[in-house]
Structure 1
């Protein structure tokens, strides 16, 4: 899980500052109306112990700016310069463990009224230590929640809109109070969408299956990575609608995302998935993913932005 302490330096409204100074007013528009978007980016401590491997940083910065466009947010950064800020923040914090990086674009004016245009936009970025968000070494238990995933014409799920995550909170709360680890959400057609905050894959008869980006899901970067891995490993793939009943007869299932990584599912709605253990396709994909992010010699090293963080002896 995430650590309890934020790392000491943040980027806040144009400056690198101590995290204690990165504060907004109680009257901030984004706090009142959820008018912000964010990204979740993982940095993994390399096997050398002196480098943080930021996974698919350009993809994350591009998606953040696309999300910002949906909120009509205008920033003086492009994807490349935003990535440079994140790299510098990692350098200044010099973490010696896996980290989670949270860029946040938000409507910053102290203004009443739910609107988008004409409200000042700002950027903040902070970091915190993070290990497992959900277990990856043993299967988890999920339930299909009664809360429906938000529809694109209500709040687009393809963007990480802050206010939309109340939808995820309702779903996860219900699942956890019923004794499960997380939730599976259906869309307005009654088809499977995704987890509360992660994309979903199932395996049937040796074929890896996931829902399309038009099924009210986040356009996941880890999801896209898994599809690429599967193609390269020769695993058949289908991107299509998934019926709820398929969850009960599939051979394997897993959640994927920046936070959850690849988290195997052993039980859905009280029904055992496959053998109840980590399936062979899930295991192959997870093993490759972890090898890539830890900096092992793979064909996917170009997905890593490597940041040297070794401190000199005696440094803080």
Structure 2
């Protein structure tokens, strides 16, 4: 496979304030980025992606996200004509052009569009790459994080891992969307899902944790191996907080001393209720609150960050 250098156009008067995308070798306003309706990424959800955030002008754990993106492409037998270093530069340029200091930055590979008359075999289709940067997005709003998110355990089960591998980041969100509607109907902020055996997995866009007798516990199944999840485990090791990755039942989760979630788009996000049960004093618990504070403190100290040169 030959590497293709990204084309850096000279357009300076187009509005990138809403975000910048890179597609087919061209940087463009995010509103101009589109996917062909015949692309299997659109009509068959045959796509993988990854998201890295920029905070205060620096990527956080960029290499971790690139490595996971490449692993996801390998798992789906996809490839793109760019190296990791080139994708990193493309994403950096998207952030620069949008002039964003805090950003949600995505790398996406779709299966692509079959050529006319081509057999319906995914391995024959040329894959397509898109990168983009948009203003920062929080999965759970800051004011909700402050008082602690209210969760429900959804009746909708998580798609079985034997059918869709959750460790490959994907757009198979049918179950997660149904669970979010369940949360909306219950007056909660969001939901977590169980697998078919009744064990905790994840929620719409986040990993989940329980604090049980001073130990931070996270599910061992049905969930993305999140970069922020790993960051939490790393911080716990640094802070002397014991951790476990193991099965968690619904009852155990409901009875936990504290619960919190974690994602690239929001960091460590404490919760205060699950299925209407109030945790502690209906505010974030001490361990989850401390982890949130230390997570952002370490960001400010430059922990595993990649600063962006904006040319100012």
- Superposition TM-score, scaled by structure 2 size: 0.87
Using the TM superposition, give the Cα deviation of residue 115 of structure 1 relative to its aligned residue in structure 2, in angstroms. 4.7
Match of 2:66 in 1: 61
Deviations 1:198-244 (A, max 9, x none): 111111111111112xx111010000010010011001111111111
Residue from 13, 27, 35 that aligns with 2:24? 13
Partner of 2:284: 278
Contact 1:103 1:125 in 2 (8 A): yes
Query: Which of 154, 157, 163 pairs up with 1:154?
Result: 163
Structure-to-structure mapping, 1:101-140, within 5 angstroms = 101-110=105-114, 115-134=121-140, 135-140=144-149
- Supply the distance in 1 between the matched residues of 2:295 and 2:249 (Cα, whole angstroms): 27
Give the Å deviation of 1:21.
3.7
- The equivalent residue for 2:305 is 304
2:76 aligned residue (66, 71, 77): 71
Gap change, CA 1:267 and 1:8, over 3 Å in 2? closer
Distance (Å, rounded) in 2 between the aligned partners of 1:235 and 1:269: 27
Q: Tell me, yes or no, if structure 1 residue 204 matches structure 2 residue 212.
A: yes
- Show the counterpart of 2:41: 30
Structure 2: segments with no counterpart, 5+ residues: 1-15
Unpaired segments of 5 or more residues in structure 1?
A: 46-51, 312-316
Greater mean alpha carbon deviation, residues 28-37 or residues 70-79: 70-79
CA contact (8 A) 2:155 2:179 kept: yes
Q: CA deviation at 1:156?
A: 0.8
* 3-state secondary structure, aligned to 1:76: coil
1:229 and 2:235 correspond: yes
- How far, CA to CA, are the matches of 2:22 and 2:272 in structure 1? 40
CA drift at 1:6: 6.8
Contact kept? 2:48, 2:108, Cα under 8 Å: yes
In the TM superposition, 1:253-268 aligns within 5 A as 253-268=259-274
SS at match of 2:201: strand
C-alpha distance in 2 between matches for 1:211 and 1:275: 25
* Residues 285/8 of structure 1: CA separation in 2 closer, same or farther (3 Å cut): closer
Shift of the alpha carbon at 1:170?
Answer: 1.4
* SS at 1:38 equivalent: strand
Distance 1:114 1:159, change over 3 A: farther
The answer (yes or no) to whether the contact 1:139–1:266 under 8 Å persists in 2 is: yes
Contact 1:208 1:236 in 2 (8 A): yes
Give CA-to-partner distance per residue, 1:66-111, whole Å, 9 cap, x none: 1112221111223333222212222222214x21012111022156
Conservation of the 8 A alpha-carbon contact between 2:193 and 2:202: yes
Q: Corresponding residue for 2:88?
A: 83
With normalisation by structure 1, the TM-score equals 0.86
Equivalenced residue count is: 292
Question: Which whole-Å CA distance do the structure 2 matches of 1:307 and 1:56 have between them?
Answer: 13
> Using a 3 Å threshold, how does the CA distance of structure 1 residues 232 and 169 change in structure 2: closer, same or farther?
same
